[in-house]
Structure 1
Amino acid sequence: MGSASSVLTQYDIEEVQEHCSNLFSQQEIVSLYQRFCQLDRNAKGFISADEFLSVPEFAMNPLSQRLLKMVDGLNFKDFVAFLSAFSGKATTQQKIEFIFKVYDSDNNGKVSFNDILEVLRDLSGSFMSDEQREKVLRQVLQEAGYSKESYLMLDDFIKLEGKKKKIVGGMDVYIHGI
């Protein structure tokens, strides 16, 4: 697994499976490795942001710039770990953890009002004004017992799963194109 041109051994496959909580079968890991090798055009053993942008669905994604921060320089093992949130076997907890990472673009372990507002801006584009986005976000946060000054931690995201759907429910549509 050192370079993208190498062949996966049974040990490599099992190691990746374990790293990804066994969310992918061995055959799925082999298929993901083939895709990884296609994206890793220079056979460096990792995928750059530019290589990710060669996937049209990824490039067109309104959250692509946020996602690029998460994927730039991934080796195969981490590439599969990144994709594990999209597995049909992933738990709700794993999906929420992934979404939290998308919002927490500075990796400080907390999400601010402005972090959420930026994602809403990316998702809604010109369909909503900044004032409309802020109004909706304030209302959702208020209903959940938070304010504009609150910082949400991962535990808060987990608690807010139902109410949060008003904010991020459509996000899955935008991040599936990888």
Structure 2
Amino acid sequence: MGNTSSMLTQYDIEEVQEHCNHAFSQQEIVSLYHRFCQLDRSGGGFVSSDEFLSVPEFAVNPLSQRLLRMLDGLNFKEFVAFLSAFSSRTSLQQKIEFIFKVYDLDCKGKVAFNDMLSVLRDLTGSFMTEQQRQKVLTHVLEEAGYTKDSSLALSDFMKILGNSELKMDVEVPID
């Protein structure tokens, strides 16, 4: 699987399925492999930040820089595991874990008010003032029983988002 010019074997497909907790069917994995090979222009078996930015939908995503931190240098198996957060077969807990990683820029297992404010800033751009963002975020935290001074762990994210209906599903076209 390291060399993207080779074809996937049945063993490779099953191994990738296992690695991503069966978030994708075998046909979807084959389709994702073809897309991975298109992105891996160097043919080295890994996709770089520049290669990800060649996808127009990704390049214009307000969170692209945060996501690149998680994506740069992924091999195919890691690429599929990353995308599994967007599968309809992925549990709510796995989706929340993914969201937490987006917020936890320093990878220390805690998310502070300023981390959340930074994501909100990326998402809202000039549509909201800094004061409006702070007010909204403060209100959301207070509704969940937290304050601006709270540092949230993954378990806190689970508590806050655990009853929500996250819509993070992307359909994989099958070739």
TM-score, length of structure 2 as denominator length: 0.92
How many residue pairs align between the two structures? Answer: 172
| 8 A Cα contact 1:8 1:30, kept in partner | yes
Amino acid at match of 2:84: S
Are residue 152 (structure 1) and residue 152 (structure 2) matched? yes
CA drift at 1:57: 0.2
Q: Which has the higher helix share?
A: 1
Q: Provide the C-alpha distance between the structure 2 equivalents of 1:119 and 1:59, rounded to a whole number of angstroms.
A: 16
In structure 2, runs of 5+ residues without a counterpart are none
1:45 to 1:14, Cα distance in 2 relative to 1, 3 A: same
Provide the secondary structure at the position in 2 that maps to 1:160. helix
What is the aligned partner in structure 2 of residue 110 from structure 1?
Answer: 110
Ranges in structure 1 where 5+ consecutive residues have no aligned partner: none
Q: Which amino acid is 1:155 matched to? A: S
Aligned-residue offset at 1:164: 7.8
Q: Deviations over 1:93-148 (max 9, x none)?
A: 11111111111111111111001000000000001111110011111111211111
CA RMSD of aligned residues (A): 2.1
- Whose relative contact order is higher, 1 or 2, with alpha carbons under 8 Å and at least 6 apart? 2
1:29: Cα distance to partner? 0.5
Which residue in 1 is equivalent to 2:78? 78
Matches within 5 A, 1:8-87: 8-87=8-87
Q: Which runs of 4+ in 1 moved over 4 A?
A: 162-165
In the alignment, residue 107 of structure 1 is paired with which amino acid?
A: C
Contact 1:157 1:164 (C-alpha < 8 Å) held by counterparts: no
| CA shift in 2, pair 1:163/1:119, >3 Å | farther
Give secondary structure in 1 for the equivalent of 2:59. helix
